[in-house]
Amino acid sequence: MTRLARLLLVASSLWLGITDAQRRTTVKGQCFPSMLDVTIDDLSKGLSSGRFTSVDLVNTYLARIAEVNPILHAVNEVNPDALAIAADLDAKRANGTLLGPLHGIPILLKDNIATADKMNNTAGSYALLGAKVPRDSTLAAKLRQAGAIILGKTNLSQWANYRSSNSSNGWTAIGGQTYGAYYPNEDPSGSSSGSGVASSIGLALAALGSETSGSILSPSQKGNLVGIKPTVGLTSRYLVIPISSHQDTVGPMARTVKDAAMILQAIAGADSHDNYTSAIPNGGKIPDYVAALKVDALKGARIGVPYNAINFSSAPVEIAAFRAAISTIESLGATIVSANFTVASPNTTSIVLGADFISDLASYLSELTVNPNNIHSVADLRAFTQSFPAEDYPDRNTAVWDSALALGYNNTDIRFWTEYQKNQYWGGEGGMLGAIERNHLDALIMPTSQSPGRAAIVGAPVVTVPMGFYPATQPVVKTSRGLVSTGPKLPFGLSFLGAKFTEDKLLGLAYAFEQKTLVRKKGPKPYLVSNIELGDYAGF
Ligand SMILES: *[C@@H]1O[C@H](CO)[C@@H](O)[C@H](O)[C@H]1NC(C)=O
Ligand SMILES: *[C@@H]1O[C@H](CO)[C@@H](O)[C@H](O)[C@H]1NC(C)=O
Ligand SMILES: *[C@@H]1O[C@H](CO)[C@@H](O)[C@H](O)[C@H]1NC(C)=O
Ligand SMILES: *[C@@H]1O[C@H](CO)[C@@H](O)[C@H](O)[C@H]1NC(C)=O
Ligand SMILES: *[C@@H]1O[C@H](CO)[C@@H](O)[C@H](O)[C@H]1NC(C)=O
Ligand SMILES: *[C@@H]1O[C@H](CO)[C@@H](O)[C@H](O)[C@H]1NC(C)=O
Ligand SMILES: *[C@@H]1O[C@H](CO)[C@@H](O)[C@H](O)[C@H]1NC(C)=O
Ligand SMILES: *[C@@H]1O[C@H](CO)[C@@H](O)[C@H](O)[C@H]1NC(C)=O
Ligand SMILES: CC(=O)N[C@H]1CO[C@H](CO)[C@@H](O)[C@@H]1O
């Protein structure tokens, strides 16, 4: 629809006495959820009944991005082919061909998940602008096979927050500073910052993020979202810009447990290009995650609380909500078990990530078919970054790479393996996996602000769901770069942590909690949302 037609439509609906609120919630005369709350089921139903098309959806999302991105900087680039892909998927649907459960659903990717199309894959760095990969990352290919439309690439903390000791969450040289939508100048957390913001305010149905330690969980909680940090190896990392092959994992950031489960279903699975996926149990067979969603999943479940590994003096508002969540979970029929870790505070170092990065980045770069700045190693990358003005060096330093290079070895060295084995103990027998096994638990729970570390070092899965909000009277706290890190009405989450490859169980538990509490639905709305709705394109 042209801009003029849209204006006329808006004007005529005003003339007909249709209020803005009604306009927002109807499509072709029938009620329809706002794009802020819409689910895959809502969209699939409307698409299959012919009420609107994927082209309408893409137009709506592109307009929403164009409206808020100048302020929030959540999206680095949009897919120039998105409308053509949508038209093709609409034609297939009309012809009775459905590719999969995500047919015609627009999804954004973090700008470190490569696609072999017109889009860039930069990790937010000019070093990789214009670089080309030989084919789609396995995850992008799987999304396309399931029928999804890859709508664009989201901003992030540059290099997935693996460059600088004094940068800010959500900043990249390419995309600028991402801000959260729940408060002006909100720190979006990271490193999947733009994915969190975009999903939180409906700039796409959902987004994929990646996590090495906290990078899906933390921005998900800041966006009032459900985030799945899958077991390392459940989702392929092939052609995803790496930090660490031992810790990296890619997962969905969505507004409901069910949407997140449906997207995980589409992207999980074995891949000969990523040998960690050969650890998927049952011969690589992926459980039915949607079937695992039961409102009574907490009934009879054994849920552990690692009291000695949670700081009960930190963030009192979140701790109070966590205690209330424990009661809710108990009231839903679960047994709460005190499940302390044998090592209360592990003494982790940066050696595992540093040594992995030296090896894994080189291996990613060796796959490029076009490498415009001839970057082949962390040393090359550091030299480029320090001499390219837009990279904002030295105001944002390269301290993380400096330390990695100072190791003088990579992940083939015995010194790497010694540290890696310590991590296996701290997170395994000494940490979360041991606590789960000894106490025969279905899962552990922790406030999401404190949940990432132990799961990260052993590659175990975590699902975060909305748990609560700061009160309207909460004083504003800012970071040294002026981002609002705590403030009025900012959301936070509850994490379910599990043994490896128990995502089906974690999703069931998270779903039961979500359906009982409906925190996202009942809580405060973002301060900034787009006014553009599907009816603007499909007709009200
Ligand atoms: C419609 O579907 C049939 C069978 O899948 C296929 O052979 C045909 O090419 C399709 N036509 C269009 C226009 O996509
Ligand atoms: C990718 O980067 C190149 C080089 O700057 C640019 O010309 C192109 O427009 C970018 N692609 C998209 C889809 O933004
Ligand atoms: C994958 O390969 C790496 C290096 O060759 C090895 O360390 C790792 O154990 C393998 N992982 C699996 C699940 O086979
Ligand atoms: C777990 O740790 C907490 C806090 O350190 C302590 O109060 C509690 O007694 C411990 N519980 C068990 C079962 O050891
Ligand atoms: C717990 O949190 C408080 C408040 O943020 C902090 O001062 C304290 O150092 C933390 N304790 C530990 C053991 O990390
Ligand atoms: C923690 O690890 C560092 C580096 O490996 C080591 O120097 C230090 O002694 C360790 N501290 C403790 C308390 O184990
Ligand atoms: C890793 O270290 C080994 C042994 O020193 C060396 O042969 C190899 O080239 C290194 N690889 C990278 C990517 O640095
Ligand atoms: C960041 O650290 C570098 C030194 O590593 C320093 O030169 C620079 O001023 C710092 N930036 C800020 C904003 O403090
Ligand atoms: C799609 C989009 O809005 N991209 C913007 C991302 O941020 C950079 C830097 O602020 C802009 O130049 C792009 O236009």
Summarised one tens digit per residue, pLDDT across range 207-263 is 999 999 999 999 999 999 999 999 999 999 999 999 999 999 999 999 999 999 999
Q: What pLDDT score does 9 carry?
A: 46
Question: What gap in Å lies between CA 452 and CA 161, rounded to an integer?
Answer: 15
Q: Is the CB of 275 under 6 A from ligand 3?
A: yes
Q: Is the CB of 349 under 6 A from ligand 6?
A: yes
User: What letters, b where the CB count within 10 A reaches 16 and e where it falls short, cover 363-399?
Assistant: ebbebbeebebebeebebbbebbeeeeebbbeebbbe
Q: What is the CATH number of the domain that holds 268?
A: 3.90.1300.10
- Mean pLDDT for 512-539 is 96
Is 42 a member of any domain? yes
Distance 50 CA to ligand 3 centre (A): 47
Q: Is the CB of 347 under 6 A from ligand 6?
A: yes
In order, the DSSP letters of 29-91 are TEE---TTT--HHHHHHHHHTTSS-HHHHHHHHHHHHHHHHHHH--EEEE-TTHHHHHHHHHH
Residue whose CA lies nearest to ligand 6 atom number 8: 347
User: What letters, b where the CB count within 10 A reaches 16 and e where it falls short, cover 8-32?
Assistant: ebbeebeeeeeeeeebbbbbeeeeb
| Nearest atom of ligand 8 to the alpha carbon of 396 | 1
Residue 12 predicted with pLDDT over 50:
no
The residue to mutate among 410, 414, 415, 416, having the most atoms of ligand 7 within 8 angstroms of its beta carbon, is 410
Is 8 a member of any domain? no
> What residues act catalytically?
110, 191, 215
Containing structural domain, residue 446: 32-534
Question: What gap in Å lies between CA 163 and CA 124, rounded to an integer?
Answer: 11
Is the pTM here over 0.85, yes or no?
yes
> In DSSP terms, which residues pair with 30 in a beta bridge?
27
| Nearest atom of ligand 7 to the alpha carbon of 411 | 1
Is 17 a member of any domain? no
pLDDT confidence of 25, banded at 50, 70, 90?
confident
Is 21 a member of any domain? no
Residue whose CA lies nearest to ligand 9 atom number 1: 77
Query: How many separate domains does the chain show?
Result: 1
Distance 417 CA to ligand 7 centre (A): 14
* Amino acid at position 221, single letter: Q
Q: Per residue in 214-228, pLDDT tens?
A: 999 999 999 999 999
| Nearest atom of ligand 2 to the alpha carbon of 77 | 14
Other Cβ atoms within 10 Å of 424 Cβ, number: 17
Decide: 131 and 122 in contact? Cβ < 8 Å: yes
Q: Per residue in 63-104, pLDDT tens?
A: 999 999 999 999 999 999 999 999 999 999 999 999 999 999
Residue 18 predicted with pLDDT over 70:
no
**Whole-number average pLDDT of the chain:** 95
Distance 347 CA to ligand 6 centre (A): 6
Question: What gap in Å lies between CA 78 and CA 133, rounded to an integer?
Answer: 18
Residue whose CA lies nearest to ligand 5 atom number 3: 314
Is 381 a member of any domain? yes
Q: Is the CB of 345 under 6 A from ligand 6?
A: no
Q: Is the CB of 313 under 6 A from ligand 5?
A: yes
Smallest-distance ligand from the CA of 307: 4
Distance 315 CA to ligand 5 centre (A): 9
Q: Is the CB of 412 under 6 A from ligand 5?
A: no
Distance 362 CA to ligand 4 centre (A): 45
pLDDT confidence of 11, banded at 50, 70, 90?
very low
Is 18 a member of any domain? no
The residue to mutate among 158, 163, 397, 481, having the most atoms of ligand 8 within 8 angstroms of its beta carbon, is 397
Is 51 a member of any domain? yes
Is 374 a member of any domain? yes
List the alpha helices (DSSP H) in 235-350: 257-267, 316-331
